[in-house]
Amino acid sequence: MADMANLAKVERSRRELSKVLDFDATITPVTYINSAADLKAFCGEHGGIVCTSTNAPKIIEWAFAQREKVLFFPDQNLGRWSGYKMGIPLEQMPVWDPDQPMGGLTEEQIKNAKILLWKGHCAVHQMFREQNITRFRAEHPDGFVISHPESPFEVCLNSDYVGSTEYILKTVSEAPAGTKWLVGTELNLVNRLAEQMKPQGKLVQFMSHVICECSTMARIDPQHLAWTLENLAAGNVVNQIKVPEAEAKLAKLALDRMLATS
């Protein structure tokens, strides 16, 4: 998902939006935690903040307390669902397409917007569809549907529960024995949860019939983790990630604002 937005496009979007309104006086940039350090630094520099799937609504409330509009990136689904739960009409949350002049919006749409949703999404959650829910409810009328807010709006709207990974795990784990669940989030998590719930007689199903694993998350596996730890124990630093000092300082500023707010 982090690849859905990069600093060059965000900076260009700021310049374009500044033709219609005063960006730094009108818009609070909010980036999802699943984003690059330089985007967090952008938010730090321009009075913005970072959010997670758990605290997104509270963070957006903070953002509105600073300025009248929000630029939310890189995941439009989380931004839309959070804004919807806050009572913001969908027409006041237009999608900003960074590959189109002025985001593909008119000046009137920009001025009327409360949240500008960056045209980005999670490839895994984007697979989930309303028909997946319809099929599950037909087979299990007494079942429940729980989805991550990175899922498309129609999926969240037709779910019984919507929340973060932690919320999904807690809700299903604490549900009565024998309950049935359709879960809209990453496949490996759903598979692990399904195995854990078997002794309680709970049915846990992955929402999509199409299997699409997150290639980015799959880069981290037990073998490479063990290799890294063994090298560290031997005094060798491998795969070190370095962030420029100025960028790190601004990114930390945005993260500190989030921690203080949530």
Which amino acid appears at position 47 of this protein? G
pLDDT of 1 > 70? The answer is no
User: How confident is the model over 19-70, as pLDDT tens digits?
Assistant: 999 999 999 999 999 999 999 999 999 999 999 999 999 999 999 999 999 9
Report pLDDT for 198: 97
Asked whether the beta carbons of 31 and 63 are under 8 A apart, the reply is no
| Residue-level pLDDT at 142 | 97
Token couple for 203: 């049915």
Domain boundary assignment for the chain: 2-121+246-261, 125-206
Residue 249's contacts (CB-CB under 8 Å, 6 or more residues apart) are 41, 44
| Cβ neighbours for 49, distance < 8 A, ≥ 6 positions apart | 28, 29, 30, 31, 43, 59, 62, 63, 254, 257, 258, 261
Q: Is the pLDDT of residue 108 over 90?
A: yes
Tally helices (H) and strands (E) across the chain: 12, 9
Give 8 or 262, the one with higher predicted confidence: 8
Residue 123 has pLDDT above 90, yes or no: no
CATH architecture of 125-206: 3-Layer(aba) Sandwich (3.40)
- The pTM (predicted TM-score) of the whole model is 0.88
The pLDDT tens digits for 239-249 are: 898 999 999 99
